[in-house]
Each structure stands twice: as C-alpha cells, then as structure tokens.
Chain A
Amino acid sequence: MSKQPSRTIKVDTLARVEGEGALYIKLKGDLVQDVKLKIYEPPRFFEAFLRGRHFSEIPDIVARICGICPIAYQMSAVHAIERALGVAIDPSVRMLRRLFYCGEWIESHALHVYMLHAPDFLGYPDAIAMARDHQAVVQQGLRLKKAGNRIVALMGGREIHPVSAAVGGFYKAPSKSALKELVDELKWALDASLATARWASGLDFPDFEQDYEFVSLSHPNEYPFNEGRIVSNRGLDIDPSEYEDNFTEQHVQYSNALHSVLRGRGSYMVGPMARFNLNFDKLPDVAQQAARDCGLQAPCRNPFRSIIVRAIELVFACHEALRLIHEYEPPAAPRVQACARASTGQAATEAPRGLLYHRYELDQDGLIASAKIIPPTSQNQKRIEEDLWHFVSQVATRPTEEITLKCEQAVRNYDPCISCATHFLRLHVERD
C-alpha cells in the first residue's frame, strides 16, 4: 500500500455564523474519510422548561431561542397554540404578521448577504474590513438591514425580542399612519434589493450542484410565511400536523443539535433555496424578473448561489411589505381571546433560514404539558455535512488553506443559526 501524503487543517472557530460549532474533515491523500459538523453550543433545554408555563407566556420565552430570528419563534408558537385552542385570527392580524415577518427577513437576509456571506466572495475577514474597499456596498447593506429592523421596531418596540406578538393577535396594532411612515424607506429598500441581486449575480461561484430534496411551506396564492402545506420536490405534501409522522430526529454523539431526517429518505434542505425553487410562481413579477435578469432559474441547485436567492427574497419582502402597508386597515381588536382547554396544536412557519416546526400540548388550565421545537438549522445539519463530503472531494487537490476557506463558505451557504439548533463552529480539516 502506497503511503498517502497526510495533512491536518485546523481552524479553531468558524466565524460569521450565529452560535458555536466545529467542523471536522478528515482526508487521506485527496480522499475524504469523514465529515462531522459538531455543534457544541451548550444546550439550554427550552422544550423542558416550557412545561408548566401558561400558553400566553410562550411567545416571549421562545423568542429567546434566537436573537436573529425571534419573530420566527413567536410566529410558529402563536400559530401552533391557536391551532390547539381553535382560535381564528382577524384577517388584518394575518396581514400584520406577514408584515412583521417581512421585517425579520429583510433584517436577517441583509445581515447574512452583506456581513456574513459577502466577505467570503470578496476575500475579507469581515464586512468592516470590506468597507475599506467597498464602502458604498457595505453602507447599502447596513441601511437595508436597518429598513427591516424599522418594521420590527415599529410593530414590536425593539429589533431583538419585540414585545407585541400575542396568542390571538398582537398586544397593540399599529395605526395606518404609523405604517405609512415606513413607505419611503421601503421604496428605497426595494430598489436597493434589486441592486443587491444584480451585484450578487456578478460574484464568482464554484461550479457545484447537488441533487437536493427541497422542503418548504407552500400556499395556493402566496409566497409562504405563516401558512401552508409542507411540500417537497419529491412528492411530499402534508399538513404541518403530520410533520412528526414524516420526519424524525437523530441524536449523534458529536453534536448538541439533533439531526432531522425525512423518514426512509434521509437529508433534505430547508431555507431560501428550497422556498425559491418550490414557490417561484408565487413571487411577484418584480422578483421573478429580477431572478431572470440575474440568470437565476428555479430549480437552483448550487448552494453557493443562495446569496442571489436571498437577494431575490429581499426584493420579495420589500415589495410584499409595501403591498401590505398599502392595503392595511387596523383590526377591530388587536387580538381575539383564547380560552384554555386540553389540546394539542402544531404549526410550521418560514423562518429566514427555513421551516420552523412547533408542537404544544396544553392542559385544561392552559399550561404547557409538552413542547417540541425543530429549528431550520437542525434540519439542514445533515445536508450541510453531505454538501461538504462532495465539495471537499471536488477541491481536495487545492492548497489546504484554500480548502479551509471554501469549506467555511460552504457552511455559511446555509446561514446556519447554531444558537437555534443549540451552538459554535470550529473547523478542523485533518489529513491523515
């Protein structure tokens, strides 16, 4: 047996992701031996301590799972509890929830596109260093992010852990005139998103495509946020209440986040690329046209191009926010009363990073008997590892340093939120 050259590549902290994890890659010569995405973010046990809390407290508590996408947690929670208690919300409240989500998507996608992902493509350690050479680009990104945050802060009091979301609606609904004040900035943001898409489409992308099973919500006449069936490009089509019959979680030794898989089929992808590929026809004309202008077609199977897909979703979210503000009439009451009863409810909504599933079992007093929360990053975790298996093989002959950078970028394609999935990315590439 010929002796294979061996190399060990080690990056202690994979940066520009939310949370703490490690990546371990073992190579023998140029052959990949093992890939492990290790999440060692300390567990915080939300599902355990939610038991015994009243349903009205849940939106505020689950927001604290993630500082980047608190609204996603609030939305999946209120919908699941409303389904359990048989609460029907006011149509204006439904619109407000979509608008709230638009704010979070704009803030989160702008953060990822400009501050976390773009530095990979342009060769900088961070957006601040990038700003020295690309000041206008970074400033555009910051202003776009702020436009999303303005929606959230106006509707919820603050950008992180907003206080307005409630079971049955909102504690307080904004006035028409307050929302109108956002219009000028959102018109700018729509143009800036179109510019973002054009700019992103000019970046260099590795030639890398995979045959994914994409999973997202699907609604008959909307690009999905809060409502719809869970579908895939391989025939999955279920109500969110059937989620646990079709998906299962695996506990692997090296990770504090559970791996979610489709029963009998394995890994799958959730997030912007899945939504875009499964719901392209629900995008408004301006977003569809922007995608075409960028040479982006559904299905997109190159995860590095997810930066363009996020830009297209920015176009959608700005356009949708303007539409919702234009059509908004305040609800008769900001929220409807929910009465406690023993029941169970499930819901899934589209967090910026993908499908977020919640289930709550309530007792007759409205206290939580059991809870289940499956964040997008734990659903993508297995798929990220599989991308790396294939991607590392493709670039194995390159210098170690280059492989390391490219692998970090491949992980960031998913905008992983390890705080959600549990947390910290540390990268080891071992050659043996």
Chain B
Amino acid sequence: MSSKVRRKPRIAVFKFASCDGCQLSLLDAEDELLGVAGALDIAYFPEASSAMVKGPYDIGLVEGSITTHHDAQRIQEVRRQCKTLITIGACATAGGIQALRNWKDVDEFIRIVYATPKYINTLKLSTPIAEHVPVDFELRGCPINKHQLIELITATLAGRKPNVPTYSVCMECKRKGNVCIAVAQGVPCLGPVTHAGCGALCPSFDRGCYGCYGPMESPNTESLSSQLRILGQNNAEITRAFRSFNAWSWQFRKASEETERT
C-alpha cells in the first residue's frame, strides 16, 4: 500500500427503506458539495450519479432500515465492501417511522395498502443496520444535520473522533437562550431525553421537541413520562410521543411499552 500513489478515498452511499432525505443532505450541502467531491472519489451514489464504481470503498454511508429478506442479505455485502460503515439517520440507526409495524400485524398492514397482498414481500420487523452488521458510527436525526455529516466525513478521513455531542436537546436550547417551553408554557417536550444535533429547532418554533434525533446517551424516560402526565398528557399520548421516527430504539421502545402497559 505505502509505495502506491495516494488515491482519493472512495465513498459510497447506499439506500435501504427510507425517504431519501438523509442522502439528500449531502446534495443540500450546496456550499461544500464541490469541495467534498474534490477531496473524495464519490464512487457509488445512485441518487446523484449514473457512474457506479464497484467496491471496496473507504467509507460507506448507509441510509434506511432493513425491511425485506433481500435487503437483509444486501447489507452483509455492503458491510464487506466498506472499510468504515456509517449509518445516517433514524431509519438506519433506529428502524425509522416504518418500524411502527413492529407492534402490529404486518399482514394486516399489507391488506390495508395493497389490493393483492401476495405480490408484496416484506419482513415482519423494520430493523436498524446495527442489528445486522457491525457499524462504525451512527449519525442520528430524522433527517441528519448536514453540518454534522460533513464533520463526520472530515473526521473519518483525518482519523480523528468526530465532534458530535451526545447530550440532550435541552443543552442546545440553553445555549440558544430559549426560554423552556415545558416549564414556562407547559408544552409537552421530549427535549430532555432527545439526542442533540438539530439545534433545538422545535422549541425555537414555539413547539415541543418531538424526538426526531432519538434518545440521548442516557435518557431518563421514566422521569419524563411522569412530567408529561403532570402537564396533562395521558398514557396513550405519551406512548405515541415515544413511538415516532425512533420508536424501535431500545430506550424509546422501553418507555412506550411501559406507558402502554399502565
């Protein structure tokens, strides 16, 4: 390796069940895109390019969750092809909104949407990538923050730890100087248990955080559930609050199953 001419690191972008929004974040980095393309060889990115270079790749970005037999096999091959595998977004990291099927009868779901159920081939569960293969870094968010993505790619290339804080949205709110909407206005807010990264968007827009970045490092969901009850939410509402884009993350899953039982 050492004697070879240094080539640009190769990056690939793979999609599983998802909305395409997280990979679009790369194209939404309008100011950085041509710079990124200069530093990296974008070898496989079907949403942006019809030139598809075969692996192996230095960095693989994976968007989406595993919902079919075919995809469960495909992720194994993707892992083999990628030196560093990074999952981007709530689908890849926590199963996504489509993981709401995990509490239901998927055959009934198929009948609701499709006239001829036998044409549809799907798994009973929507699961995150890390349930199938080892993952080197999980970037959270529904969608991810494009600045965090650029930081993560830069850090990976430099071989350093990315600066992606794991504290809660509350910290971002404090830094922004927001008045706490849960305390001051009694608005139910998932900020205390939710991973930072969005920049405390929802409280800045006069609404409670709805948890799209998933659980923070060590969330006290039990305490938050009691607070939400004090603010007037019933157990069905609290269960739904934990069951959105990161419903299948084990922390939010545990929290929703506890409130569902009570």
To the question of whether A and B form a pair in one complex, the answer is: yes
Contact residue range for chain A?
A: 35 or more
B residues 98-154 in Cβ contact with A at 8 Å? 98, 100-101, 104, 106, 108-110, 112-116, 119-120, 122, 126, 142-143, 145
Contact of A253 among B20, B21, B119, B212 (CB under 8 A): B119
Q: How far apart are the CA atoms of A164 and B212 in the complex, in Å?
A: 14
What are the interface flags for B52-69 relative to A under an 8 Å C-beta threshold, 1 for contact and 0 otherwise?
A: 100000000000000110
* A45 touching B20, Cβ below 8 Å: no
Residues of B within 8 A of A67 (CB): 18-24, 143
Residues of B within 8 A of A119 (CB): 50
Q: How far apart are the CA atoms of A408 and B46 in the complex, in Å?
A: 13
Q: A127-B48, A171-B206 are in contact. Are A70 and B21 (CB under 8 A)?
A: yes
Whether, in the assembled complex, B82 has its beta carbon less than 8 Å from a beta carbon of chain A, the answer is no
Looking at the assembled complex, report how far the CB atom of B30 sits from the nearest CB atom of chain A, in whole angstroms.
4
Whether, in the assembled complex, B47 has its beta carbon less than 8 Å from a beta carbon of chain A, the answer is yes
Contact of A158 among B45, B115, B201, B237 (CB under 8 A): B201
A residues 25-57 in Cβ contact with B at 8 Å? 41-49, 51, 53-54, 57
Whether, in the assembled complex, B258 has its beta carbon less than 8 Å from a beta carbon of chain A, the answer is no
Contact of A161 among B21, B49, B96, B237 (CB under 8 A): B21
Contact of B97 among A44, A252, A258 (CB under 8 A): A44
* B30 touching A57, Cβ below 8 Å: no
Q: How far apart are the CA atoms of A20 and B20 in the complex, in Å?
A: 10
Contact of B20 among A18, A51, A53, A61 (CB under 8 A): A18
> How many residues in B have their beta carbons less than 8 Å from beta carbons of A?
65
Q: How far apart are the CA atoms of A17 and B24 in the complex, in Å?
A: 11
* A163 touching B34, Cβ below 8 Å: no
Name the residue of chain A whose CB is nearest to the CB of B120.
Answer: A43
Q: A43-B122, A64-B142 are in contact. Are A408 and B50 (CB under 8 A)?
A: yes
Q: How far apart are the CA atoms of A239 and B207 in the complex, in Å?
A: 34
Q: Which 3 A-B residue pairs are closest in the complex by CB-CB distance?
A: A67-B21, A126-B49, A125-B51
Q: Which B positions have Cβ atoms within 8 angstroms of A?
A: 15-25, 27-28, 30-31, 33-34, 37, 42, 45-52, 67-68, 71, 96-98, 100-101, 104, 106, 108-110, 112-116, 119-120, 122, 126, 142-143, 145, 198, 201-202, 204-207, 210, 212, 237, 240, 244-245
